[in-house]
Amino acid sequence: MKEEVANIKKEFLKEIKEVKTEQQLADIKVKYVGKKGKLTLVLRSMGKLSPEERPVIGSLVNEVRDEIENLVEEKKQELKREELQKRLQTEDIDVTEPSKKIKRGSLHPIKQVIKEVEEVFLGMGYEIADGPEIEKTYYVFDQLNTPIDHPARDLQDTFYITDDVILRTQTSSVQIRTMENKKPPIKIICPGAVYRSDTVDATHSPVFHQIEGLVVDKNISMADLKGTLDMFAKKCLGEKTQIRFRPHHFPYTEPSAEVDVSCFVCGGKGCRVCKQEGWIELLGCGMVHPKVLQNCGIDPKIYSGFAFGFGVERIAMAKYGIDDMRLLFENDARFLKQF
> How many other C-beta atoms lie within 10 A of the C-beta of residue 144?
26
First to last CA, the chain: 92
Taking the least distance from each CB to ligand DAH, the nearer of 37 and 284 is: 284
**Minimum CB distance to ligand DAH, residue 269 (Å):** 28
DSSP conformational letter for 34 = S
How many residues can be counted in the chain? 339
Q: Using CA atoms, how far apart are residues 332 and 47, in angstroms rounded to an integer?
A: 91
Query: Residue 221 in contact with residue 120, Cβ under 8 Å?
Result: no
**Minimum CB distance to ligand DAH, residue 311 (Å):** 8
Taking the least distance from each CB to ligand DAH, the nearer of 170 and 304 is: 170
**Minimum CB distance to ligand DAH, residue 308 (Å):** 5
Query: Residue 207 in contact with residue 194, Cβ under 8 Å?
Result: yes
Taking the least distance from each CB to ligand DAH, the nearer of 184 and 284 is: 284
**Minimum CB distance to ligand DAH, residue 256 (Å):** 6
Taking the least distance from each CB to ligand DAH, the nearer of 95 and 223 is: 223
Q: Using CA atoms, how far apart are residues 317 and 292, in angstroms rounded to an integer?
A: 33
**Minimum CB distance to ligand DAH, residue 338 (Å):** 29
Q: Using CA atoms, how far apart are residues 324 and 202, in angstroms rounded to an integer?
A: 4
**Minimum CB distance to ligand DAH, residue 131 (Å):** 13
Enclosing H/E stretch for 167: strand 165-167
**Minimum CB distance to ligand DAH, residue 195 (Å):** 11
**Minimum CB distance to ligand DAH, residue 274 (Å):** 20
Residues that bind ligand DAH (CB under 6 A): 170, 172, 212, 250, 253, 284-286, 307-309
Taking the least distance from each CB to ligand DAH, the nearer of 39 and 176 is: 176
Taking the least distance from each CB to ligand DAH, the nearer of 137 and 172 is: 172
Cα separations in angstroms, 83 against 15, 27, 65: 20, 19, 27
Taking the least distance from each CB to ligand DAH, the nearer of 31 and 226 is: 226
Cross-strand bridge partners of residue 211? 191, 310
H helix runs in the chain, sequence order: 2-18, 22-33, 38-44, 53-90, 109-123, 137-140, 173-181, 222-237, 290-295, 312-320, 326-330, 333-336
DSSP conformational letter for 196 = -
Taking the least distance from each CB to ligand DAH, the nearer of 27 and 281 is: 281
